[in-house]
Amino acid sequence: MNIGTRIFTMLYGRRVGADADGNVYYEARRLRRFSGQSRRWVAYRGAAEPSRIPAEWHAWLHYTTNAPIPETARQPWQKPHQMNLTGTPASYRPPGHDYRGGHRAAASGDYEAWTPGS
Amino acid sequence: MAKVTVDGIVVEVPNGSTVLQACELAGKEIPRFCYHERLSIAGNCRMCLVEIEKAPKPVASCAFPVADNMVVKTDTPMVRNGRRGVMEFLLINHPLDCPICDQGGECDLQDQALGYGMDHTRYEENKRAVKDKNLGPLVKTVMTRCIHCTRCIRFVTEIAGVPDLGATSRGESLEVGTYVEKALGSELSGNIIDLCPVGALTSKPYAFVARPWELKKTDSVDVLDAVGTNIRIDSRGPEVLRILPRLNEEVNEEWLADKARFSMDGLKRRRLDRPWVRRDGKLVQATWGDAFTVIAERLQGVAGERIGALAGDLCDAESMVALKDLLTALGSANLDCRQDGVLLQAGRRDFYTFNSTIAAIEEADALLLIGTNPRREAPVINARIRKRWLASKMLIGLIGETAELTYDFQHVGGDAGAFDGLRDASAGFGKTLADANKPMVIVGQPALRQPGVLAAVWELAGAIGALAGEWHGFNVLHTAAARVGALDLGFVPGQGGRDLAGMLNGGVDVLWLLGADEFDTARIGRNTFVIYQGHHGDRGAARADVILPGSAYTEKSGTYVNTEGRVQRGLRAVYPPGEAREDWTIIRALSEVLGKTLPYDDLPGVRARLEQVNPVFGRTNFLPRFGVSDRSGPGQGSGRASGPFGVAIENYYQTDPISRASPTMAACTETFATTPLLQAAE
Ligand code: SF4
Ligand code: FES
Cβ contact B451:B415 at 8 Å = no
| Helix intervals (H) in B345-452 | 374-377, 379-392, 418-422, 428-435, 445-448
Q: Quote the ligand 1 centre to B175 CA distance (angstroms).
A: 10
Q: What is the pLDDT of residues B296-306, one digit of tens each?
A: 999 998 999 99
Residue B679's pLDDT is 40
Tell me whether B167 touches chain A (CB under 8 Å). no
Ligand 2 contacts CB of residue B147 (under 6 A): no
Which ligand has the nearest atom to the CA of B150?
A: 1
Residue B349 DSSP one-character state: G
- Report how far residue B580's alpha carbon sits from residue B598's, in angstroms, rounded to the nearest whole number: 20
Q: Is B182 helix (H, G, I), strand (E, B) or coil?
A: coil
Q: Cβ-count burial of B120 within 10 angstroms (0-12 exposed, 13-18 middle, 19+ buried)?
A: exposed
Tell me whether B270 touches chain A (CB under 8 Å). yes
Q: Quote the ligand 2 centre to B144 CA distance (angstroms).
A: 20
Q: What is the pLDDT of residues B573-630, one digit of tens each?
A: 999 999 999 999 999 999 999 999 999 999 999 999 999 999 999 999 888 888 888 8
Q: What is the pLDDT of residues B181-209, one digit of tens each?
A: 888 889 999 999 999 999 999 999 999 99
Q: Which residues of B touch A106 (CB under 8 A)?
A: none
Query: Are A113 and B271 a contacting pair at CB < 8 A?
Result: yes
Q: Which residues of B touch A107 (CB under 8 A)?
A: none
**What are the distances in angstroms from CA B208 to CA B53, B203, B215, B216, B235?**
47, 9, 14, 17, 15
Query: Does the global pTM surpass 0.90?
Result: no
Q: ipTM value, please give it.
A: 0.78
Q: Is the pLDDT of residue B673 over 80?
A: no
Q: Is the pLDDT of residue B668 over 90?
A: yes
Cβ contact B277:B290 at 8 Å = yes
- B259 band by pLDDT with thresholds 50, 70 and 90: very high
| B164-168 contact pairs (CB < 8 A, 24+) | B165/B192
Residue B126 DSSP one-character state: P
- Report how far residue A36's alpha carbon sits from residue B353's, in angstroms, rounded to the nearest whole number: 96
Ligand 1 contacts CB of residue B487 (under 6 A): no
Residues of chain A with pLDDT under 70: none
Tell me whether B577 touches chain A (CB under 8 Å). yes
Q: What is the pLDDT of residues B432-447, one digit of tens each?
A: 999 999 999 999 999 9
- Report how far residue B241's alpha carbon sits from residue B47's, in angstroms, rounded to the nearest whole number: 32
Give the distance from residue B270's alpha carbon to the nearest chain A alpha carbon, in angstroms: 4
* Other beta carbons within 10 Å of B121: 11
Name the residue among B314, B632, B643, B635 with its Cα closest to residue B449.
B643
Q: Is the pLDDT of residue B373 over 80?
A: yes
Q: Is B363 helix (H, G, I), strand (E, B) or coil?
A: coil
Between CA B360 and CA B363, with CA B361 as vertex, the angle to 5 degrees is 65
**What are the distances in angstroms from CA B512 to CA B107, B204, B507, B543?**
48, 39, 13, 12
Q: How many CA atoms lie within 13 Å of B484's alpha carbon, on the beta-carbon side?
A: 30
Q: Is the pLDDT of residue B681 over 80?
A: no
Give the distance from residue B536's alpha carbon to the nearest chain A alpha carbon, in angstroms: 7
Q: Which residues of A touch B236 (CB under 8 A)?
A: 109
Q: Cβ-count burial of B308 within 10 angstroms (0-12 exposed, 13-18 middle, 19+ buried)?
A: buried
Ligand 1 mutation target, pool B36, B150, B194, most atoms within 8 A of CB = B150
Residue B120's pLDDT is 86
Name the residue among B525, B507, B565 with its Cα closest to residue B344.
B565
How confident is the prediction for chain B on average, in pLDDT? 92
Q: Is the pLDDT of residue B286 over 90?
A: yes
Residue B682's pLDDT is 35
Give the distance from residue B281's alpha carbon to the nearest chain A alpha carbon, in angstroms: 12
Q: Quote the ligand 1 centre to B30 CA distance (angstroms).
A: 19
Nearest chain B Cα to A111, which residue?
B268
Pairing of strands B474-477, B439-444: parallel
Residue B13's pLDDT is 94
Q: Cβ-count burial of B290 within 10 angstroms (0-12 exposed, 13-18 middle, 19+ buried)?
A: middle
